[in-house]
Structure 1
């Protein structure tokens, strides 16, 4: 949870418009990066956030000394926009081993980037998980990721994978669990361009965790804003130069930035809200704690068995410090996308016991003594669709930011906020 607290902010009614702040609604990554950009251009800013922490969809909860991510989340070493606002010298990041361990009925097989661990590349060949058609498919995918073709704009991920000619085993044991987990879409119905963007990120970068868990990224981004952030403040309505909070407080504004999920932005614009369950992919994770250091390394373990409840298992505390108490190991068990609504009907104790056993089986270690820390359910984890950034008839002085304009990711959210901040800074001159 963020250590930032709500602060009082008063605006004199006789102030000139040029001395008023830009009011940013939403302290997710888009809102925070917008505010940071405005401040860097000497534009006053106020950020109001309805929840009790910064970060939006990115974040974690600390439970009994364990950082529990809100769904499986990683940063990437090639997130350059994020790096510009939260440099790793300020907040160190630590990489997973590039690749994953595929767990099939027949055993475990590491698929490691051969450019980073050449000898590890032979294992998938020896075990028949990767064949020549898969190598060719990956090479073509790299080419498409650099420059998507026009036909990919209307394709699904499943259709693109068929075009690339991957073998059924490689697709079902590695591609579906890995990218189904990244996209939160086990059916691979997500737009092909979204898959290509994710593929390109993983092909040229490493998945990372910061010291203390993912909430640390949001806290570090918000820290320079300090008293400019007000938490626990829900916005009731907006006008071009005024924001009204639910408690009746009115904030005069030079401009207003809606750094919110699309349904919430539409509500404040007085437009019809979409059915949220149809608009979002959800995710569910079970967080466990072992009382010893598990010998499983900085790897992501994929469930390639084609059955079971889990999509992947990893141990975040083996990757970055400050995630779990010393001498213990945190285990993040992420469920297969789309399962969590049905699982809420199961007996809780039995459910946790079965998840613990499955996670131990995937990691290949005993789960004896593992404690259940918490279970996180995130119904609105990723928007299903990408939307046109040009919302018609925006009121004068209102700007919209968010990663739902492009491929949803940490980097997209940050870049969207930076773009909005630059636009407003130019207009303020």
Structure 2
């Protein structure tokens, strides 16, 4: 990594997030000369990790899903030293805590975790039918179904308002980063399928270890970090320092707002904003690696990250992550602290605030009808990829990067 030859290349890729890294890897494998330009000093885009006061803090709460096809194709899972979350959630409701877990993975849960405690037989049956279909049917069938909102799909599946409001809406809001469940039902079914078929984990080095691994596989000279692009030119790109790089094709693999700035006329989706608060506690408020959600939706989710991976703490204290929609002010943060005290049944006034990170455009909005994959071709010699061109997930970003590589190759080598 770092500053190497800035000479001409067949393809210049702007942005070394997941999509740009996948695109670069596939083009290099096809024998194409590539320059992958990253404005920051490290790769990853939104998948970054900081070290603060000995703690491992991702830039926003993130989980790693082992079932994604692109992940299986590209990532060495063993080297990430993954540790799993409990396959389920603990919902804090006005009627008390409710545990909602996958009973097929009982041996991996704590003794105190009971599958879907407090859920009616009717809801159990409806959820079982929905889950069985999503797991067993081909993904292509799920993609081809008529689309609607997730809220509509849950009602159509026969799930009661009570289970939707107390468990499913709070849980899914943390995945979609919106609490109206207006996200595409197609995307919901694919996400639900992936969670049932895979494992949600954390890497020992934080989520940033994933793009770092992808970057380490690139040949020397491909990746240039600390190299912001100012604008696209007829012959390639102009850098912020005034230098120019020529290329036969340019792939914009940034987030959707930055892509819209580099490609005037590009239609981009609305963005979802999320803020994550990190606290250190002398002792763990919940001795299990379980995601906690709030039925009153005062926060999206909270988790004791050191129960998932002890290496996230450098001094033995517990690390608590809490995410909320938007960019809350002091009054809203105080309300979140009070809600955490209720959810964990503990005094949070002694917790040390470690870090606060707000991620704008953390996910693209995905209302129905959602095209799960779109061409990356924007104009002759110009391409755009990222999760905003597919689905708001690591799978979507990697798949879009792979599609960009295929379309670039098809245009550079017609007839091959």
* Band of TM-score, shorter chain: 0.7 to 0.9
Whole-angstrom distance in 1 between the partners of 2:334 and 2:51: 22
Is 195-204 or 83-92 further displaced after alignment? 83-92
Decide whether the 8 Å contact of 2:376 with 2:404 is kept in 1: no
Q: How does 1:288-327 map to 2 (within 5 A)?
A: 288-304=279-295, 306=296, 309-327=298-316
The Cα shift of 1:410 comes to: 0.4
Which 5+ residue runs of structure 1 have no aligned equivalent?
A: 13-19
Q: Kindly indicate whether the alpha-carbon contact (under 8 Å) linking 2:341 and 2:348 is maintained by their aligned counterparts in 1.
A: yes
Moved over 6 A (4+): 118-122
Match of 1:15 in 2: none
What is aligned with 2:363? 382
3-state DSSP of counterpart to 1:416:
helix
Deviates more, 1:201-210 or 1:319-328: 319-328
Aligned-pair CA distance for 1:396 = 2.5
Q: Which residue in the other structure is 1:100 paired with?
A: 89
Q: Report the equivalent of 2:20.
A: 31
Instruction: Report the Cα distance in structure 2 between the residues aligned to 1:121 and 1:211, rounded to whole angstroms.
Output: 26
Deviation at 1:374, TM superposition (A): 0.9
Q: List aligned pairs for 1:227-238, cutoff 5 A.
A: 227-238=221-232
Q: Give the 3 Å change call, closer, same or farther, for CA 114–121 of structure 1 in structure 2.
A: farther
- Tell me the residue number matched to 2:342: 361
Q: Is the 8 A contact 2:238 2:245 kept in 1?
A: yes
Deviation at 1:331, TM superposition (A): 0.4
* Between 189-198 and 142-151, the greater mean CA deviation after superposition: 142-151
Shift of 1:68: 2.1
Q: 1:247 aligns with which of 234, 241, 248?
A: 241
Cα deviation digits, residues 44-86 of structure 1 (max 9, x gap): 2211122333111222322212222222211111023123322
Assess, with a 3 A threshold, how the Cα gap between structure 1 residues 181 and 256 changes in structure 2: closer, same or farther: same
Tell me the equivalent position of 2:63. 74
Is 2:142 the counterpart of 1:143?
A: no
Q: Distance in 2 between matches of 1:218 and 1:294?
A: 31
Compute the displacement of 1:206 (Å): 1.5
Q: Secondary structure of the residue that 2:403 maps to in structure 1?
A: helix
Instruction: Give me the TM-score of the superposition, normalised by structure 2.
Output: 0.87
The Cα shift of 1:259 comes to 0.9
The size of the alignment, in residue pairs, is: 402
Question: 1:95-145, CA deviations, whole angstroms, 9 ceiling, x for partnerless residues?
Answer: 1111111222232222111111179899466x5334323422441354257
Distance 1:259 1:390 in 2: 13
Shift in Å at residue 370 of structure 1? 1.6
2:278 corresponds to = 287
Q: CA deviation at 1:294?
A: 4.7
Structural RMSD (CA): 2.7
| Cross-structure match for 1:177 | 170
1:7 aligned partner: 3
In 2, Cα distance between the equivalents of 1:47 and 1:334?
Answer: 32
Distance in 1, matches of 2:234 and 2:30, equals 21
Structure 2 residues not aligned, in runs of 5+ = none
